[in-house]
Structure 1
Amino acid sequence: MSFDLPRNVILPVDAIDVRLDPGPHPFALSNAEAIAENWRQETAANPALFDGTVVLLSELAYRDNRLFGRCHAVKFSTFMLWRKRRENSGAEHAYAHAMLVAGDNALVAIRMGPHTVNAGRVYFAAGSFEPIDFRDGLVDADFNMIREVSEETGLDLSTAERGRRWYALSRETGTVIFRRYRVAEPADELARRISAFVATEAEPEIEGPVIIRDATDLPDGLMPHMKSLIEWHFAGTDKVS
């Protein structure tokens, strides 16, 4: 199967069959020394980095509105080297976005904190899939979305209105799986709540909220994939989703 899905187009997704393989990722096995050396360099530049566990894909495909894939648990240090050597690596990255839609139809994103890998970058609150996000070996993308939003913003989206399906946008840098989560509060109130939460954190992951009110309202530091998601939302594409 390898990596077989259209690039740079938003795809409707009715089911996600991405499974966690208990074996090591081939990229981790073949690059052990380089991973260790790169990690020494990364932590020297940013001592706040933590070598936790995330997952990397070894396969991903799209057929009949479904995503099929296989991934492996790796250390974050492995992921950091992969970011530099992703071309022809036999590995890819997938991550999930809860597209937070306020009651006034504005989008609420976040700006990452200065001590993080993506310092200053703007995207929806998110993080890489971790082993905790899998149920009987199958990824639970919504659990990941709700968990990451809660950890970074303090908001609980477990009772929010979810879009009827997921969507995916695959680029050479990774595949984002996203879904609308609608809440009743206006964007300003959500931003206030997020800012209040950040103020209570000793080492917050994010700098604060970013409100996006229309397709031309593109903030500085916006991650490249976000422009397509923002335009898609404000175009009213699949409004019931």
Structure 2
Amino acid sequence: MSFDLPRNVILPVDEIDVRLDPGPHPFERDNAQAITDNWRREIAAKPALFDGTVVLLSALSWGDNHLVGRCHAVKYSTFMLWRKNRQGTGAEHAYGHAMLVAGDNALVAIRMGSHTVGAGSVYFAAGSFEPIDFRDGRVDVDFNMIREVREETGLDLTGAARGRRYHALSTSTGTVLFRRYHVDAPASEIARRISAFVATEADPEIEGPVIIRHAEDLPEGLAPHMKPLIEWHFANGGEDP
């Protein structure tokens, strides 16, 4: 198992070849009792949590603008234990971000709901990769991005113009794969649509939209990985480098 990619720098990515290994992740296999015990504590604190299926990496590398990796389906309860002590586990996490760019070049992010693990955090609508996001064993990052945005905000980005390539930012807490998605409407109108959708949901995952209009416009609760993404967007004038 290996993780070989530069950290804390935004990387251009032209191809993503992350494969789903049908075997168990060693971290889940070797920590069954600890996972069960921790999950009891997690749901006692947040009863709305659901022990669904996500994926954890066992390898990831970058070279020549290609990202190559291996991951395994695990229970969400496994992920919750792993995130408490990531170092030396032989596991890492990757997730997608559709960077929603409005017609006025503002960014539209979301704030997570109070009942979620990330309560109050601000980032682009996103979620962990799940087995449904894989095609012939290979992750379809755009499918994941579009699915998560639709589920959380009600927006359908299927027909939206996309940046010509992906980018990745790998830190000690995980690797985010992101891509610009352009919507013609101004940010205020996009935010209105999201708010209207949230109002119709019986149990919305998000609190609501957050508009970011310039690189210094950093909202309270901003997830740490978001600051370099925001700076990258406004430094590059809406065009992918």
TM over 0.5: yes
Q: Where do 5+ consecutive residues of structure 2 fail to align?
A: none
**Would you say 1:197 and 2:197 are equivalent positions?**
yes
Amino acid at match of 2:138: L
Q: Which residue of 1 aligns with 2:94?
A: 94
Kindly indicate whether the alpha-carbon contact (under 8 Å) linking 2:109 and 2:123 is maintained by their aligned counterparts in 1: yes
Structure 2: distance between partners of 1:24 and 1:223: 30
RMSD (Å) for aligned C-alpha atoms = 0.9
Q: Which residue of 2 aligns with 1:75?
A: 75
Q: Which residue of 2 aligns with 1:146?
A: 146
State the Cα deviation string for residues 52-71 of structure 1 (Å, max 9, x = none).
00000000000110000000
- Call closer, same or farther: CA 1:224–1:240 in 2, change over 3 Å: closer
SS of the residue 1:222 aligns to: coil
Q: Which residue of 1 aligns with 2:62?
A: 62
Amino acid at match of 1:69: G
Q: Which residue of 1 aligns with 2:133?
A: 133
Shift of 1:78: 0.1
SS of the residue 1:146 aligns to: helix
- Call closer, same or farther: CA 1:185–1:238 in 2, change over 3 Å: closer
Shift of 1:240: 4.3
Amino acid at match of 1:217: D
Shift of 1:237: 6.1
Q: Which residue of 2 aligns with 1:173?
A: 173
1:1-241 equivalence runs, <5 A = 2-236=2-236, 239-240=239-240
Question: How many residues in Structure 1 have an aligned counterpart in Structure 2?
Answer: 241
Structure 1: distance between partners of 2:98 and 2:161: 11
Q: TM-score scaled by structure 1?
A: 0.99
Shift of 1:85: 1.7
Structure 2: distance between partners of 1:102 and 1:231: 16
Amino acid at match of 1:119: A
Shift of 1:238: 7.2
Superposed structure 1 runs of 4+ greater than 2 Å apart: none
Q: Where do 5+ consecutive residues of structure 1 fail to align?
A: none
Q: TM-score scaled by structure 2?
A: 0.99
Shift of 1:239: 1.2
- Call closer, same or farther: CA 1:237–1:66 in 2, change over 3 Å: farther
SS of the residue 1:84 aligns to: coil
Structure 1: distance between partners of 2:218 and 2:110: 13
